[in-house]
Amino acid sequence: MATLRLGDKAPDFTADSSMGTINLYDYLGDGWGILFSHPADFTPVCTTELGTAAKFKDEFDKRNVKMLALSVDGADSHIEWIKDINEVENTTVNFPIIADEDKKVSGLYDMIHPNADSNLTVRSVFIIGPDKTIKLILTYPASTGRNFYELLRVIDSLQLTAYHKVATPANWKQGEEVVVSPAIPTEEAKEMFSKGVKEVKPYLRMTPDPTA
């Protein structure tokens, strides 16, 4: 399959997991989703990531985002690994880990990069919108753990910009000023954004976060 790009439909799948059989679309329902892959079970960086993800579950829940992890090992292996994760990270893994021994899902999502490793998945992240399209793709090498604060930040941006005609500037955090969409004329923007519009340049207009 060709490489997935932003705006593509997220491939549906049914697979075994640490919590039983999962169908992606049924699992996500009408909400958002985040799918992240791990090179293999019982690996050190992944252990810290999955423990961190479990601790962040309440934050993802607030944003109506369901978490789903994946590794190329089997469900029984996942269940044993989860015991280690819970112990080491002092948490409870509270979301499914997909078992992808046949690499079916890895293939659908282009998670195996032969120049990195021909068997193990790289650290991929896919954020999926309620319309089941891919909203964000991140790919990390196996040696670099993910920043879950950044994942929450981009979800905040994606959700804000999905429903308001704004964009978010560099290093933006929820509640900070946002950029008015360049497609909107300034006079129209002033009518649209009741909190005010600040014109920095004709092409760069700022307005307070409309949801704050």
Nearest residue to 24 via CA among 122, 110, 98: 98
Matching residue, tokens 């090498």 = 141
Of the listed 10, 22, 24, 46, which one is catalytic? 46
> How many CA atoms within 13 Å lie on the side-chain side of 54?
21
Please, what is the angle between helix 44-55 and helix 75-89, to 10°?
70
Nearest residue to 200 via CA among 176, 175, 182: 182
For residue 57 the two structure tokens come to 């579950």
Q: Which amino acid is at 92?
A: T
CB < 8 Å & 24+ apart, contacts of 14-18: 15/98, 15/99, 15/100, 15/104, 15/105, 16/74, 16/75, 16/98, 16/99, 17/75, 17/78, 17/96, 17/97, 17/98, 17/99, 18/75, 18/78, 18/79, 18/82, 18/93, 18/96, 18/97, 18/99
Q: Which amino acid is at 166?
A: V
Q: Is 30 a catalytic residue?
A: no
Known catalytic residues are: 46
